[in-house]
A = this chain, B = another copy of it.
């Protein structure tokens, strides 16, 4: 009998198809491979092929928009939103619209075309986290922005158009609907229980004797297969310390997150044979006081199944792999110790 499970934060029901439980090898898809053929605007020497850099880490010095950097942030060459101008909110009969004001940046995570977050040195992965933070802190000063979204598309099937490893940042003048839903859901739980729902989840998942959905844990973070995942092998990395905003993390937290994120992506590569994936940092809207009830986290979604239109038309997901199964495979993967 399949099971219907409710996500305790958003209230979304998901069908967990326990009868036809799928194992990692049941998902047929193209393995993400770095070909390295052709011109790459993110490699050394091609700095002028991107818009001028916003920020770069150059531990050994060097001048702007030239080689020598270890991480580089540039505006997206084909931005979804424009940085200049005013929002000019207006009606059009029963409709509402505004100018597409926002920032759309690319974080080039390493100069090494052949690397991924799973293979880069931990120190470089940590630098990626610091770059996320630096950019959020800078963009928060612009009062037009209500939400700053950090995400990564890895592999063509996950929407990456360039294979050189990179993340993206979009600063938005509105709070996206799913973020709104999660923030509102957390607030409702807090109003009802006077506790953070994420803290409740961490407690339940780590205190359960079996810990069937716990994938990994270190000093500052837990990694879970969520109870009602939309996708097979979905993973959430959640800080143990209650904190609404990613950018307000402690230094020791970034130091703990970097090796864990790397390790989890290694586990994904091992268990699912180099899948395409997306990850998204779920963090507090910029100008809202969510301290009491919201809890930032990072959601990783391997791209294994074809999401049919009805799934994003209805918000109704069928997941063929129970999270307890996913967790078992991910826990069991032999991965190199992070260095």
Residues of A within 8 A of B (CB): 1-6, 8, 10-13, 15-17, 20, 78, 80-82, 85, 92-101, 149, 151, 153, 156-159, 170, 172-174, 176-179, 181, 197, 200-201, 204, 208, 227-228, 230, 277-280, 299, 301, 303, 306-316, 318
Contact = CB atoms under 8 A, between A and B. Distances in A.
Nearest to A277: B309
Given A78-B20, A81-B15, A176-B316, A151 B309 contact: yes
Contact of A280 (B10, B204, B314): B314
Contacts of A159: 306-310
Contact of A278 (B100, B172, B308): B308
Contact of A2 (B1, B16, B100): B100
A200 B177 CA distance: 23
22 contacts: A1-B82, A2-B81, A2-B99, A2-B100, A4-B101, A5-B96, A6-B96, A6-B97, A13-B174, A93-B204, A151-B310, A151-B313, A159-B307, A159-B308, A177-B315, A178-B312, A178-B313, A278-B309, A279-B309, A301-B309, A301-B313, A307-B307
A99 B1 contact: yes
A315 to B, nearest CB: 4
Given A2-B82, A16-B100, A227-B95, A177 B307 contact: no
Contacts of A16: 100
Nearest to A318: B80
A12 B97 CA distance: 11
B100 A1 contact: yes
Contacts of A230: 312
The secondary-structure label for the interface of chain A is mixed
B80 A15 contact: yes
- The CB with the most chain B CB atoms within 10 A, among A6, A306, A310, is that of A310
Contact of A315 (B6, B78, B178): B178
Contacts of A197: 94
Contact of A172 (B101, B303, B316): B316
A93 B278 CA distance: 29
Contact of A4 (B97, B156, B299): B97
A131 B17 CA distance: 27
A10 B177 contact: yes
Contact of A308 (B8, B13, B158, B178): B158
A276 B17 CA distance: 25
A92 B200 CA distance: 12
Contacts of A15: 80-81, 100
A22 B278 CA distance: 24
Nearest to A173: B4
Contacts of A17: 80, 100
Contacts of A228: 95
A235 to B, nearest CB: 12
A316 B208 CA distance: 35
A230 B309 CA distance: 11
